A and B are shown apart, each in its own frame.
Chain A
Amino acid sequence: SQKIEQNSEALNIQEGKTATLTCNYTNYSPAYLQWYRQDPGRGPVFLLLIRENEKEKRKERLKVTFDTTLKQSLFHITASQPADSATYLCALGGRDDKIIFGKGTRLHILP
């Protein structure tokens, strides 16, 4: 069955450093991959989308890589700030309209 794995443990990063979150998947060939941010008590908010034929995508301090051979995406936040503390969800989409979400990784940026 399709499976998405994200770091199950919370990630603690010192302010100013780069935070790197991992998303691995199996038994799936996604057409695209998305990253969402979720704050406590709120719904997820879309951050970035990367297509299967793209290796890297950037947006301000965010960078996403997508390796379809390794079946892995890395999500980087550079010059991290305490306001970046949240849960980050990885989501895979196919050629139908369904998206599969990972369980998310909690990120804490320490001042």
Chain B
Amino acid sequence: GQNIDQPTEMTATEGAIVQINCTYQTSGFNGLFWYQQHAGEAPTFLSYNVLDGLEEKGRFSSFLSRSKGYSYLLLKELQMKDSASYLCAVMDSNYQLIWGAGTKLIIKP
């Protein structure tokens, strides 16, 4: 079957760094996505990895290891507005997104 695992909830301190992990088993692979979603709003695209390695975009970075079925999202210099759910999703061989359940990130002052 298809499966994506990520932690349910994480807590971090403003100004710190947090890493959200995602492991996956899917039928085929056409890229891994990270989305940010604030309560009641639509998901916002953060990153897309299709090759192994690290993609950096400002305070956010995403890493992929296809051989390990593993990705992480790294958030630096955390701000209160980063409190949100972070969704890991893998595009399978049919170009359909398989979603993780999301990680609720709580930022404390």
Q: Do A and B come from one complex?
A: no
* Residues of A bordering B, CB below 8 Å: none
